[in-house]
C-alpha cells in the first residue's frame, strides 16, 4: 500500500544552493550566530555539506540523544599536504550493506575552502570526543539547530525558506559540478572558434615558403590547429627592416594584435648600410617600436639565412660575419619573458559590475546600455572590438543594428558577426546566445536596451543621441565600475510605528521599490515597522537589530504618535524622547539620526481636546528637530500631510490611504536622497517648499 501511494509523481520543489548563495550564507553567519565559535562551526558544516555532497543527517545528530549517522571526531583525517581532508562515513542512507564509505574532499577557493574551514573549526573545538560538530560546551549540533541557523540566514538574505532546505546543499553541489563541466566543454568548443593568431611577416623567403607549404601535405597552418593556433603569412619581395612597422600598422587596422609575431627580415639590409653597428641599432629600434604597437604579443626573431651571394657584396666573409653577429644580438635582447597578467572576469565580478552601473552612469539609459554590452561580451565570448567602435569615425568590427535577431521563443538571440579577428577569409560568423539566469540574461538585457534605444541605424550599441559607443568610453565605464564595485553600500534603517509598516507594504508593490531607488546613491534600505510601538520600545528594537546587523549609515526614526495623549504633560514626553535619542547615540556613535515628522491624525487615542493634542504634536516635532539638527542629525517634514484632510486617511482616522502613502513616501525618498547628496543639508524639504499639488 505504501508503494502504491508513491505511484503519483511528487515534484521536488527544493531549489539548489548555488555557489553565490553559499558565499552569501557564510557572510551573514557572523550576524546570525551569537559568537565567533558558532559562526565558524556552521561555516564548516555548510561548506563541508556542499563540497562533500553530504546530507545534513550524515554530518550532525538527529537530536541530542539520537546520534543517527553523524560523523564522529575520529572519522576525519587531513592529507599530509594539508590540501585535502578524508571523512570516513560509517553510515549512509544509500549504504544498505553497512560497509561505509570514504569521502575525500580537496582544497578549493580559499574563501570557501572546506579544508581550511574544517581546520579553522578544529582549532577552536573543545577537546571532547563524540560528534565532530559540537558547540563550545561539547554538546553535539542537531539537525534542528542547523535548520534554525540556516533559515535565519536565508531570511537575512531575503530568500524563501520554503524552497531552500538543508538538502539544497547536496543538490546545489551536484548542480555546481555539472555547470562547471558544462562551462569547460563550452570553453573548449569556443577555443576552436577563437584560435591563437600567429603572424609570419618577412621578405620573399616567407613569400616563397608560403606558396610551397600551401601546396604540401602540411598546409599553410603548419598543422598548428592541434595547438589551437592559426597562421597568417605576409611575405614581400625585397622587404627592408624599416618597412616592417608600416606593414604591422596596416595589419592592425583590420586585425587585432596577434598572440605571436614571427619576424623574418634584415637580409636585404646587409650590405646596404656600411657599418654593422648601425644596422644592429636600426633593427633594435624597430623592435622597440613593435613592443609599443604589440604590447601583449610574443615577438619571435626568425634567423636571417646565409646567402651564396649578397647584394652588392665586396667581401662575402665580412657580410656573413655581420648577419651572424646581428642574429646573436637580437636573440639576447629577447631573453626577458613577458606574461599576460590580465585576470578573467568571473560571474561574481560581472554581477558586481552590473549592480554598480546605475551609480557610475549618468542615466538609466546609459546603465542599461553598458549592462547589455558587458553581459553580451561575457556570454557571447566577444572581444569588445567586435561590439563597439574603435572611435567615433572608425567603425572597426562593431556589430550593427541589423546584425541582431531574436528567436521566436524569445529565449535566444543571434548576432551576425561580419568581421572578426580570426576571420581571415571574410566569411563572417553567426553567434547564438541562449537565455540564462534572469538577473544576468543576455537576451533580456539586449531586449531591455533595444526598447530604450533611439530609432537610428548604425552601430547596435549607441547613446541616447544616436552617437556610437566607442572602445574608450566602454573602458572608462568598466574601470569606474571596478572601483565602485568594492565600495560597501550605505545602509539605512527606517524604524517606526504602523505608519512605516503600511508604507513598506505600499512601496514594495509600487514601481519605486522598497529600496526607494537609492541604489543609485549606493544605499540599501531596511524597513522595520511595528504596530502600536511606543518611544521607549525603540532602544530595545535597535539593540535586537545590532545583534544581527552592523550599525547603519543613517537611522530614520518615525515614532511618538502613539505616546501623545498617554503622558499627561507635553514637557515630559519631549524629555522622554530626548533621553531615548541620547541613548541611541551610544550604540550608534557613527550613525546619522533622522527624525521623521509625527503625522497629524483625525482622531487621537483617548482624546478629549483634539486641538490641544495637535499642539503637542507640533511642539514635539519642532523641539526634537531643533535638538537633532544641532547635534548633526536630520529632519524630514511632510508639508502635504500637515493638514487634517480626510481624503488622505483610512476609515480608522489614523493610517494613510493610497494617496496619503504616496505623498508620505515621496517626501521620505526626497529627504533621504537629499541627505545622501548633500551632507550639509539638515532639513528636507526646506521651509516654504511645497509640492505642486498644493499650488492651486
CATH of the domain at 119: 1.10.443.10
Q: Are residues 31 and 105 in the same domain?
A: yes
Q: In what order do the strands lie in the sheet with 554-558?
A: 523-529, 490-496, 554-558, 592-596, 634-636, 683-684
Q: Where are the beta strands (DSSP E) in 222-376?
A: 229-235, 260-264, 298-301
Residues 527 and 623 in one domain: yes
Give burial (CB, 10 Å; 0-12/13-18/19+) of 395. Answer: middle
Instruction: Report the half-sphere exposure of 26 (CA within 13 A, side-chain side).
Output: 24
* For the ranges 93-97, 125-129, 335-339, the one whose mean pLDDT is highest: 125-129
Domain at 425, CATH number: 1.10.443.20
Q: Are residues 411 and 512 in the same domain?
A: no
Q: Check whether the bond before 552 is cis (ω within 30° of 0).
A: no
Q: In this model, does residue 318 exceed pLDDT 70?
A: no
Total domain count, the chain: 4
Beta-carbon contacts of 49 under 8 Å, excluding residues fewer than 6 positions away, are 55, 56, 59, 166, 169, 170, 173
Whether 646 and 510 map to the same domain: the answer is: yes
Grid look-up 565605464 returns 477
Mean pLDDT of 418-422: 70
Is residue 211 pLDDT above 50, yes or no? yes
C-alpha to C-alpha distances, 347 to 20, 21, 31, 175, nearest whole angstrom: 9, 13, 26, 16
User: Is residue 189 domain-resident?
Assistant: no
384: pLDDT strictly greater than 70: yes
Q: Domain for residue 4, yes or no?
A: no
Distance between CA atoms of residues 151 and 160, nearest Å = 9
Residue 36 lies in a domain: yes
Q: Please report, for the domain that includes residue 329, its CATH number.
A: 3.40.50.1110
403 and 519 fall within a common domain: no
Closest C-alpha among 593, 606, 589, 526 to residue 559? 593
Say how far apart CA 261 and CA 200 lie, in whole Å.
Answer: 6
Query: 23 and 113 share a domain?
Result: yes
- Strand arrangement of the beta sheet that strand 84-89 belongs to: 76-78, 84-89, 101-106
Angle CA 584–586–587, to nearest 5: 75
Distance of CA 202 to the CA centre of its chain: 46
Residues 553 and 661 occupy one common structural domain: yes
Asked, for residue 186, whether it belongs to a domain, the answer is: no
Q: What is the mean pLDDT of residues 188-211?
A: 75
Domain-embedded: residue 342: no
475 and 496 part of one domain: no
Domain boundary among 127, 145, 178: 178
Span 654-686, pLDDT tens digits: 888 888 888 899 999 999 998 888 888 889 887
Dig out the grid coordinates for 72 from the structure: 564522529
- Between CA 289 and CA 293 the distance in angstroms is 7
Sign of the dihedral defined by the CA atoms of residues 296, 433, 485, 154, in that order? negative
Instruction: Let me know if 516 is exposed, middle or buried by CB neighbors in 10 A (0-12, 13-18, 19+).
Output: buried
51 and 117 housed in the same domain? yes
Residue 467 DSSP one-character state = P
Q: Which of 484, 511, 546 is the last residue of a domain?
A: 484
pLDDT per residue as tens digits for the range 433-452:
998 876 789 999 999 999 99
When computed from its CA atoms, the radius of gyration of the chain, rounded to whole angstroms, is 35
Domain termination residue (choose one: 484, 509, 536): 484
614 lies in a domain? yes
The rounded percent of the chain whose pLDDT value lies above 90 is 15
Q: Cell 572590438: give the residue.
A: 385
Look up residue 551 and give its DSSP letter.
P
Grouping H, G, I as helix, E, B as strand and the rest as coil, residue 78 is strand
| Residue 57 confidence (pLDDT) above 50 | yes
In a domain, residue 5? The reply is: no
Instruction: Tell me the per-residue pLDDT of 506-555, one tens digit each, with 9 for 90 and over.
Output: 998 888 888 888 877 778 899 998 888 888 888 889 988 888 888 899 99
Q: Could you tell me if residue 9 is inside a domain?
A: no
Mean pLDDT of the region 633-642: 86
Q: How far is CA 338 from CA 138, 334, 568, in A?
A: 55, 10, 81
356 in the same domain as 319: no
Q: Which residue has the higher pLDDT, 455 or 566?
A: 455
CA 642 to CA 599: how far, in whole Å? 7
- Assign 275 a pLDDT band (cuts: 50, 70, 90): low
> Above 80 in pLDDT, residue 316?
no
631 with 529, same domain? Answer: yes
Q: How confident is the model at residue 294 (pLDDT cuts 50, 70, 90)?
A: confident
Alpha-carbon torsion, ordered 60, 61, 62, 67, to 10 deg: 150
pLDDT of 32 > 80? The answer is yes
Between CA 603 and CA 644 the distance in angstroms is: 10
Q: Do residue 528 and residue 382 come from a single domain? A: no
Residue 221 has pLDDT above 90, yes or no: no
243-252, 417-426, 451-460: range with lowest mean pLDDT = 417-426
Residues spanned by the domain of 259: 194-333
Amino acid at each position: 500500500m505504501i508503494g502504491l501511494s508513491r505511484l503519483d509523481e511528487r515534484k521536488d520543489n527544493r531549489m539548489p544552493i548555488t555557489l553565490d548563495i553559499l558565499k552569501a550564507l557564510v557572510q551573514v553567519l557572523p550576524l546570525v550566530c551569537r559568537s565567533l565559535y558558532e559562526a565558524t562551526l556552521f561555516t564548516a558544516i555548510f561548506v563541508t555539506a556542499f563540497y562533500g555532497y553530504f546530507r545534513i543527517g550524515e554530518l550532525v545528530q538527529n537530536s541530542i540523544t539520537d546520534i543517527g549517522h553523524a560523523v564522529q571526531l575520529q572519522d576525519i583525517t587531513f592529507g599530509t599536504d594539508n590540501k585535502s581532508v578524508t571523512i570516513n562515513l560509517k553510515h549512509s542512507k544509500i549504504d544498505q550493506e553497512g560497509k561505509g564509505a570514504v569521502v575525500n574532499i580537496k582544497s578549493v577557493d580559499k574563501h570557501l575552502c572546506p579544508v581550511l574551514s574544517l581546520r579553522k573549526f578544529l582549532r577552536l573545538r573543545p577537546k571532547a570526543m563524540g560528534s565532530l560538530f559540537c558547540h563550545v560546551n561539547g554538546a553535539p549540533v542537531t539537525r534542528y539547530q542547523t535548520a534554525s541557523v540556516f533559515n535565519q540566514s536565508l531570511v537575512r538574505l531575503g530568500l524563501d525558506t520554503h524552497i531552500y532546505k538543508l538538502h539544497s546543499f547536496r543538490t546545489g553541489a551536484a548542480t555546481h559540478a555539472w555547470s562547471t563541466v558544462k562551462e569547460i566543454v563550452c570553453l573548449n568548443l569556443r577555443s576552436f572558434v577563437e584560435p591563437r593568431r600567429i603572424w609570419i611577416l618577412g621578405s620573399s623567403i616567407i613569400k616563397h615558403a608560403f606558396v610551397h607549404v600551401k601546396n604540401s601535405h602540411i598546409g599553410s597552418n603548419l598543422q598548428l590547429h592541434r595547438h589551437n593556433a592559426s597562421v597568417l603569412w605576409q611575405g614581400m619581395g625585397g622587404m627592408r627592416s624599416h618597412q616592417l612597422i608600416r606593414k604591422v600598422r596596416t595589419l592592425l587596422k583590420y586585425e587585432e594584435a596577434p598572440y605571436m609575431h614571427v619576424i623574418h627580415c634584415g637580409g636585404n639590409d646587409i650590405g646596404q648600410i656600411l657599418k654593422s653597428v648601425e644596422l644592429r641599432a636600426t633593427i633594435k629600434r624597430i623592435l622597440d617600436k613593435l613592443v609599443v604597437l604589440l604590447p601583449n604579443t610574443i615577438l619571435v626573431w626568425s634567423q636571417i639565412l646565409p646567402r651564396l651571394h649578397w647584394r652588392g657584396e665586396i667581401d662575402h666573409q665580412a657580410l656573413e660575419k655581420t648577419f651572424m653577429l646581428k642574429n646573436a644580438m637580437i636573440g639576447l635582447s629577447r631573453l626577458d619573458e613577458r606574461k599576460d597578467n590580465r585576470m578573467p572576469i568571473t560571474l561574481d565580478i560581472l554581477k558586481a559590475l552590473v549592480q554598480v552601473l546605475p551609480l557610475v552612469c549618468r542615466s538609466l539609459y546609459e546603465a542599461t546600455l553598458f549592462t547589455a554590452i558587458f553581459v553580451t561580451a561575457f556570454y557571447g565570448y566577444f572581444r569588445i572590438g567586435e561590439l563597439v567602435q574603435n572611435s567615433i569615425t572608425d567603425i572597426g568590427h562593431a556589430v550593427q543594428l541589423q546584425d541582431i535577431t531574436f528567436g521566436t521563443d524569445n529565449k535566444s538571440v543571434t548576432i551576425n558577426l561580419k568581421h572578426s579577428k580570426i576571420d581571415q577569409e571574410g566569411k563572417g560568423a553567426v553567434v547564438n546566445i541562449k537565455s540564462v539566469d534572469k538577473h544576468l540574461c543576455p537576451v533580456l538585457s539586449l531586449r531591455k536596451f533595444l526598447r530604450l534605444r533611439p530609432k537610428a541605424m548604425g552601430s547596435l550599441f549607441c547613446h541616447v543621441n544616436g552617437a556610437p559607443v566607442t572602445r574608450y568610453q566602454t573602458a572608462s565605464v568598466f574601470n569606474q565600475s571596478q572601483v565602485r564595485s568594492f565600495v560597501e553600500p550605505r545602509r539605512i534603517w527606517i524604524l517606526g510605528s504602523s505608519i512605516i509598516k503600511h508604507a513598506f507594504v505600499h512601496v514594495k508593490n509600487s514601481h519605486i521599490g522598497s529600496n526607494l531607488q537609492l541604489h543609485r546613491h549606493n544605499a540599501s534600505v531596511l524597513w522595520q515597522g511595528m504596530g502600536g510601538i511606543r518611544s521607549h520600545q525603540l532602544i530595545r528594537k535597535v539593540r535586537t537589530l545590532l545583534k544581527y546587523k552592523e550599525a547603519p549609515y543613517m537611522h530614520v526614526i518615525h515614532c511618538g504618535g502613539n505616546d501623545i495623549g498617554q503622558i499627561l504633560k507635553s514637557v515630559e514626553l519631549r524629555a522622554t524622547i530626548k533621553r531615548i535619542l541620547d541613548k541611541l547615540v551610544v550604540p550608534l556613535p557613527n550613525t546619522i539620526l533622522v527624525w521623521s515628522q509625527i503625522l497629524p491624525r483625525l482622531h487621537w487615542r483617548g482624546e478629549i481636546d483634539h486641538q490641544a493634542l495637535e499642539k503637542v504634536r507640533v511642539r514635539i516635532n519642532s523641539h526634537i528637530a531643533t535638538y537633532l539638527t544641532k547635534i548633526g542629525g536630520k529632519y524630514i517634514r511632510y508639508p502635504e500631510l500637515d493638514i487634517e484632510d480626510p481624503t488622505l486617511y483610512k476609515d480608522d482616522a489614523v493610517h494613510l490611504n493610497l494617496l496619503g502613502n504616496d505623498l508620505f513616501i515621496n517626501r521620505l525618498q526626497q529627504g533621504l536622497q537629499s541627505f545622501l547628496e548633500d551632507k550639509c543639508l539638515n532639513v528636507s524639504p526646506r521651509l516654504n517648499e511645497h509640492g505642486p499639488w498644493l499650488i492651486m
